[in-house]
Structures are given as structure tokens and as C-alpha cells.
Structure 1
Amino acid sequence: MDQINILVTGGCGFLGTAIVSALLETKHFSVTAVDINPPSLGSSAFPTEVRYVRANVLDLDALQKVFDEAKPAMVIHTVGVFPLGAARYSMKDSDAVFKINIEGTRNVITAAKSSGAKGLVYTSSITVVLDELSTDFRNVNESWPTGRAHTSYGQSKALAESLVLSASSPAFPTCALRPAPIVGEADTALIPTIHALIAASGTPFILGPATNLQDFVYVGNVADAHILAASNLLNSQTAAGQAFFLSNGEPVTLRDMCIAVWKEFGHVPRFQVSVPEGLAWWMGLAAECVGAEGFCRGMVSDGCRERYVSIGKARRVLGYVPRVGLEEGIKRSCEALKKKLERRGKG
């Protein structure tokens, strides 16, 4: 049976790499990975059977050439800018976030349609709903409205998602996947940030009640969902024009998440200090006033709210089942970080 060609934008990124690997494992797909920084020729870190092409999603002409040459049956669009740390909660310098997340997505849709692709799966984000930072979200489903996010990332992903879903048609079906914060072996954000609190002596401090549940998801599970979505759009199209929340379906408190990570590094806080949310808010304001980058009011609001979703729709329509549990996902992530830190220490 001939393999189906899938083009993955951001194919060298954290999620993109996992999707490429998962596609190859099925033996049903050939893969073209597009990235602004593809791996060097012959790099042992990436599968040699993948065609890697360098292209910027903001350069429509160059992007169109890549798509026309690849002639993908389906496009998986993962490219996006996600501000880290306190920058995530600030609208300052948000132009690049909006430009890449929205205009880049618009260009990918245009190039995909023009190249004859039969559909597109978009990597959206749980933040299109949950980045309304002052609100609790308990077991939210896809009927909840978007457009209320307080962050540049949440706003830009919601607008880009709208572009994708409005482009859906029987000849070019599209859908959007909204993953929770992702953990995994190549994670450069979530697990490293939690681990860094050990060296910063920040592990004893608990913001707010520490009973609020939040969602996370293992990168391999998100990759599986993208393949399920692509297959759906190529066949039954029951996912066409729809968005789907993705998580591990195992909401935990942020404190428990942190303790699980620290445990993998042999660290247990010797004491605990509870910081009321109100006091933490004023501390965040003070940090913003003096220009400190490691703390802000947005972090307080985000960390003290309920943040978990229902994956019932993804289960029903896509057949999504998280294969790797959260505990195992955290272990795998931490093992990979340990090896990375060891290499850095030796180097």
C-alpha cells in the first residue's frame, strides 16, 4: 500500500519531533518536516527517512514552493510562539507572537490549499479558553467560548484557530487540537522550570490553597491525537470544523505536580510555607514594579485557579486514549532532563 505523505510544520520542535516519530512508527505515512531550523544533513538525532526542508511560515512564496514540491495529502501545523516566564502574562512585545501564530497560520492554510492538500490539523492550545486568568475552569468542554484570554498567546491561538476552522470544507477539512501544558523528553519549558526551583530554594513556598486542580499531557499522547485527527480528516471527516481538548485526563494540583518532579531528582522540601493568594498578588506587583523577571501577578492568578478540561469529545470523535499515564510521562521527562544536565556538566 502506498504511503500517505504528511507535511508537518515545526517538525524539528518539541511536539513536531514527537509527531514525526509517531507518524513513522505507523508505517503508513511518508513525512516532510518543515522548520525554520531543520537538522543538519545526516544528523543522527532525526530519522533519515524524513525529508526536512527549511522555510519560514511568514514567507508565503517560499512556503508555497515547499508545499508544491512536497504535495502533501495532509498538513499538520504545529508552528507557534509561546512566551516563557513572566513574558507569558505581559502584552509587551507581543507583536511577534501575533504575527507568527496568526499570519503564519494564514500562510500555511493558503499554501496547503494551493498545493492540493486534502486537509489540515492545527495545534491550538488549551489557553484559547483557560487564559482568562481570573476565572476557574472545571471540566470544561468545547462549548465554552474563546476570545476572552488575557494573554497574547491565548488570544493569538484563538484567532489562528478560528482561521483554521472557518477554512474547513468537504474538499479541505480542518480541525484544531487544544493540548494542555505538555511534558516530555524534549521539554524545554515546564519540567525544567519546576526543576529550577530546587537550585533557587523556591520549593518550600506554596501559593494559595494548593488544592486547585490543573491539567497536563504527555507529548506522545498529543502526537497520537494528531495522527488520529489526520486519519479522521482523510476518511470519515467527522472531526471536520471542530476543536478538541487534549490532556492526560488526570488533573492534579500544581503542588503535587512539582513534588512529583522534585522527587525524581531526589529532592523533598524540608518545610513548607503557605503564601496566601492576596499576599502573593502584591508580591507579584512589587516584582513587576522593580522589573524582576521571575515573578508576576499573572503567575499568581494562573497558579491559583482551577484549570482542567474534559477529553470526552476527543475520545468519542477521534478515538483518543492517553497511552502514557502522567506519572510515567513525568518520569520520562525527568530522566531526559537528568541526561541533558549531565552532558552539560561534562561539557
Structure 2
Amino acid sequence: MPRLYGASAFAFKVGTVQAFVNTSTSSVIHDNISDLIDADEDLPVLQYPAQKRVYTLTKAVAEADILAANRKNGDSSMLTVSLRPATAFGERDTICMGKIVDVCRQGKGKFQVGAGKNEYDFIYVGNLAEAHILAAQALLRTYEKPVPPLETRVDGQTFNVTNDERILFWEFQRRISAAIGFPIKDEDIKIIPKWLALLMAVIGEYIIWIRSFGNRQPSVTRESVRLITIIRTLNGDKAKRVLGYTPKANILEGIERGGKWFVEEAKQAEAGKKVN
């Protein structure tokens, strides 16, 4: 049997954990350079050097470790599953929505890199939480029972989870900008050619590397330029069919909820400054 590490090892050692739901990432099957179109769970997990992002490599290792723990001691032992979310956004999200909010507050939301025709799959954090609950419930129903048929099996499986609706990346950004009080008119959009953005990123990376002796990264990198100009869509049919997952909030509702949170958070931060 494979040796277990980290959280899965602790959960297995306790001996009373019945269901373990892992939050992986859809990036484990993506090189973050080329287009990813309607990708399903059958695509192979990328390893170095095809996968160069350290974060994603660690997520892939964790996923493999957790899935290896599934039914390790038979039908009465811990069941595991791994969810691979599309890019998540919403309240308290500092990675995706938070960065876009910062860009828009700086007045840079009007800038678009490339033709702007690249579709993306996202998932609202509330829907992602619901998917985790459904996965856990499915595992608990199967606990101490024989392995079910593959078409209905949850334990030992991976599932893509999305909002089940695609949106152009740049429309997504401008919707967020409007939700936090910075609407952008079509005539105000400034398009930067992808080649120029990549050139600027190379120059920026080089300058920052020299000035920081290799200890810092610029805010705009070649990787970030590629990520905002490629197609990145997932096939989430398996989660809908097997888990019974259906998004409760659509993309626009999620953006509105997230936008309200960021606006309120900014107000509270400003009020705190005045008190101090």
C-alpha cells in the first residue's frame, strides 16, 4: 500500500473518519500556457517539467496521496474523493476576485489584453461549498458498503466542479468592476495586443530580477499574461450526474454578492482608519 502523508495520514490514523473530501485544483491537468477546452477528468495529471507551477505540483501530490487512502483497509475504512474546482470567486476571495478588484480600483479595469474572446469557467464559492457537502454526503452513504459501479462511484474519484456557465474572461472582469462601483463603457476599453503585453512582462521581470537580486516578482508576468488570454473551460458533467450538483447561484449573482462584500469591506477599513 502507498504510504500516506499530511492530512490524509492523520485522518486515517484517527480511525473514525469516514469521509475525506479534498479540494484540489483544475490546474493539475493544465500547463497554464495552452488553451484548455472542455477538459474532463480523464486528462492526465501533469508532472514536471510539463507542469512548472510549484503550487500545482503540490496539489497534484496531495490529491494522489488522498485518493490512495481510499478504502485502504477495506470497505469499512475511510473513503476519499477529490474535487477540482474551476477558478473560484466570491466573498473573501483574495486570489481571483480580490486581485481583479484591486486592478479596477486603480482605474486599470478598462485595459484588455488580446482580442477578449477567451472563454473561462469559474465557480462561485457558495456553489463550491455546496459541491463539497454533496461529495461528503455521497461518501457517507457508501461507507461500509461494497464498491459501487463506476458510473455512480464517488469514492476514489475526481470531479471537476464549475458554475456550469461560461463567460468571457474580460466580461467577467468588467462585471466585477461594475459590481464594486466602477462601471466601464465599451468606448472606454483600451486593447493591448498580447505580443506587446508579453514583451512588457519580459522587460518587467528582467528589471525586477536585477533590482531585487532575484528575490521579487513583478505584478505582471508572462504567466499572468498567458492566463488572462487563453481559453480555460472544463467539463463538469460528471459532478452533475454522479453528485447531483447544480449551481444555486449563477455567475452574475455570485459577482453581485462578492462585489457587495468587497465594497462593505472597504467601508469598514476606511472607518477603522478614521477611528485610529
Query: In the aligned structure 2, how far is the partner of 1:163 from the partner of 1:267?
Result: 44
For the residue of structure 2 that corresponds to 1:165, the secondary structure is helix
**Superposition RMSD on alpha carbons, in Å?**
1.7
Contact persistence 1:127–1:153 (CA under 8 A): no
Give 2:109's aligned amino acid.
T
Shift of 1:184: 2.0
- Out of 183, 187, 192, which is 1:268 matched to? 183
Query: In the aligned structure 1, how far is the partner of 2:124 from the partner of 2:9?
Result: 31
The corresponding residue for 1:340 is: 265
Query: In the aligned structure 1, how far is the partner of 2:10 from the partner of 2:180?
Result: 45
- 1:242-257 aligned at under 5 Å gives the runs 242-257=157-172
- 1:1-347 aligned at under 5 Å gives the runs 106-116=5-15, 117-130=17-30, 132-147=31-46, 148-169=50-71, 170=75, 171-236=77-142, 238-269=153-184, 271-291=188-208, 293-347=218-272
Deviation sequence 1:42-101 (CA, Å, 0-9, x none): xxxxxxxxxxxxxxxxxxxxxxxxxxxxxxxxxxxxxxxxxxxxxxxxxxxxxxxxxxxx
Shift of 1:248: 0.2
For the residue of structure 2 that corresponds to 1:245, the secondary structure is strand
Query: In the aligned structure 2, how far is the partner of 1:337 from the partner of 1:151?
Result: 29
Q: Which runs of 5+ in 1 are unaligned?
A: 1-102
Give 1:125's aligned amino acid.
T
Paired-residue identity, %? 29
Shift of 1:209: 1.6
Stretches of 4+ moved more than 6 A in 1? none
Shift of 1:316: 1.0
Shift of 1:198: 2.7
- TM-score (ref. length: structure 2): 0.83
User: How many pairs does the alignment contain?
Assistant: 243
Name the structure, 1 or 2, with higher relative contact order (CA <8 Å, separation 6+): 2
Q: Which runs of 5+ in 2 are unaligned?
A: 144-152, 209-216
Deviation sequence 1:256-279 (CA, Å, 0-9, x none): 001101111332335222112111
Query: In the aligned structure 2, how far is the partner of 1:240 from the partner of 1:199?
Result: 43
Query: In the aligned structure 1, how far is the partner of 2:109 from the partner of 2:128?
Result: 29
Contact persistence 1:136–1:307 (CA under 8 A): yes
- TM-score (ref. length: structure 1): 0.67
Contact persistence 2:113–2:228 (CA under 8 A): yes
Query: In the aligned structure 1, how far is the partner of 2:192 from the partner of 2:106?
Result: 17
